[in-house]
Chain A
């Protein structure tokens, strides 16, 4: 596909369960970002991958959140022991080059809507 894809599009889970969210960036994009969007709130930065460099995890809200990027392409965001406050839309974005995240156009996926009951 031409754009960033994310799966699943919707996820309903029970409090305490683990969830995995997947992001397929645009082919050839070296930078990948995860954001969280809560109702009426701006995009909250979570984690950033750039090539083979160590990821910037400064936005992860707790140690229940982790992410990996395999082979410089697909990324998985894992939330362990989910809580109701984790309910949000999780957006993934990729960009071609990074000289600072703000310098390059970020292309967003459609998001995964997570609801924790």
Chain B
């Protein structure tokens, strides 16, 4: 079993939909939770960063962490075609004091 599990998708939604992206993990030592967005042929860019449990909101994006369930989510409201990208969750610290990344979910928002 992978330390971090993420559905690879693709997830296809119409413009304006609410999108829910999720990751599950097994390492209870994880304290830092991040979401990266990666456009095609680009490097990942940090989108959201959360420490420990709770919610964090930034514009149309909301990150949720449920440490009791070892489950994190990223919600995108009023999704736009420009949100079409691969979203990677990342969390740490792992045994090597580094981040462990999920495999990414490919999102397509159709106009």
Residues on A lying within 8 angstroms of B by beta carbon are 4, 40-43, 45, 48, 56, 58-59, 91, 93, 100-103, 105-111
Contact between chains at B42 and A42 (CB < 8 Å): no
A102-B90, A102-B91 known; 17 new pairs, CB 8 Å cut-off, are: A4-B43, A40-B104, A42-B101, A43-B101, A45-B98, A56-B96, A58-B96, A91-B44, A101-B97, A101-B99, A102-B34, A102-B98, A109-B43, A110-B41, A110-B43, A111-B41, A111-B42
B residues lining the A interface (CB < 8 Å): 4, 6, 8, 32, 34, 41-46, 49, 88, 90-93, 96-104
- Count: A-B pairs, CB below 8 Å: 63
Residues on B with beta carbons closer than 8 Å to the beta carbon of A101: 92-93, 97-99
Q: How far is the CA of A19 from the CA of B44 in the complex (A)?
A: 24
Find out whether the CB atom of B98 lies under 8 angstroms from the CB atom of A41. no
Residue of A nearest to B33 (CB): A102
Docked-complex contact A108 and B8, CB < 8 angstroms: no
CB proximity of A12 to chain B, nearest CB, Å: 16
Q: Enumerate chain B residues within 8 angstroms of A40, measured Cβ to Cβ.
A: 8, 103-104
The residue of chain A having its C-beta at the shortest distance from the C-beta of B103 within the complex is A42
Contacts of B100 in A (CB 8 A): 42
Contact between chains at B93 and A42 (CB < 8 Å): no
